[in-house]
Amino acid sequence: MITKRDLHITEVALRDGSHAVAHQFTVEQVRNVARGLDEANVPFIEVSHGDGLGGSSLQFGRSLFDEFELIEAAVDVCQRAKIAVLLLPGIGTQRELKKAAELGAKMARIATHVTEADVSSQHIHLAKELGMETVGFLMMSHMTSVGKLVAQAKLMESYGADTVYMVDSAGTLLPHQVKERIHALRESLDIHVGFHGHNNLSLAMANTLAAIEEGATRIDGSIRCLGAGAGNTQTEVLVSVLDRLNIETGIDIYKMMDVAEDIVAPILQQAQEITRDSLVMGYAGVYSSFLLHAKRASDKFGVDARDILIELGRLKVVGGQEDMIMDVATDLAKRLNS
């Protein structure tokens, strides 16, 4: 078992934050953000479409620039940080993973729904063959029992993952639920355990600290809270809090503050805050990237976005089923007009 405190932060704004800007990051923006994060000594920087490699599509949203251009730009400006990519099997393929590795990506985060870890086997094996640090990413971890979560994590461990993440994709978990899940994972796995939180119920920081208390050693943050829904655990704040707790991250706090204020803030289309839409996502337990899709469907069909999100939660819709949003909005509109 891993017993030594070995905390590493992965910055996800250039991937998860893609949702918040409708996947419109420019090459220059990625270069500037990645350079600033590298200078602040952030160890891992995730870069890809919000839905991972291959995500640029009509279903998930077209990227302004090819994600491989963005990955290459980030690799080019980073002297110390390692570039990570996210891949959801079925959206991204082995071909795209190989290309990301060829461009210099050093970490592969293979993401599946929390009950579908078995579909990650080929991609985890390939990432290991490519010499990449390999992460299993169990999304929507609130949607199954603790026992089943552990069983799925053990599958990823058996495929060769160096780390398995418990992912609160909807920002719906409470701190005691995070502690219970992370504790169970730490007791059951011989690899690193990670946590990725969203802030839809204003609990991302509390949940992240709860995860660290229970032994999570791989933690995600997003500078200026730039992420899907109400954003993720805010990296520059997290680093400051951890310093107050005498937990060393190696990240320069002042530089992170400056990157957040001077480089990332101007990119934001609107402030990352808990709106009624992001709040209802956490309340309903639905995938955080659904927000923009639900708002567009709301405008198109004249139904309340909250009703769309609540219905999606009732139907237990998961990431990769964005096409269901329009179906749900259509049905709600028909009921409203009948």
Are the C-beta atoms of 113 and 139 separated by less than 8 Å?
yes
283 assigned binding-site residue = no
Rounded CA separation 314/335 (Å): 17
Tokens of 194: 């990670």
Rounded CA separation 312/321 (Å): 10
5 assigned binding-site residue = no
Which position has the token pair 């995600």?
A: 220
For residue 49, which amino acid is it?
H
198 assigned binding-site residue = yes
Are the C-beta atoms of 71 and 100 separated by less than 8 Å?
yes
Are the C-beta atoms of 201 and 212 separated by less than 8 Å?
no
Rounded CA separation 140/111 (Å): 10
Are the C-beta atoms of 80 and 38 separated by less than 8 Å?
yes
Rounded CA separation 329/223 (Å): 33
Which of 8, 19, 113, 176 is labelled catalytic? Answer: 19
196 assigned binding-site residue = yes
Beta strands in 202-284 (DSSP E): 218-221
Are the C-beta atoms of 73 and 32 separated by less than 8 Å?
no
Greatest alpha-carbon span in the chain: 62
19 is catalytic: yes
16 assigned binding-site residue = yes
State the catalytic residues: 19
Residues belonging to the binding site are 15-16, 169, 196, 198, 287
Residues belonging to the binding site for substrate are 15-16, 169, 196, 287
Residues belonging to the binding site for Mn(2+) are 16, 196, 198
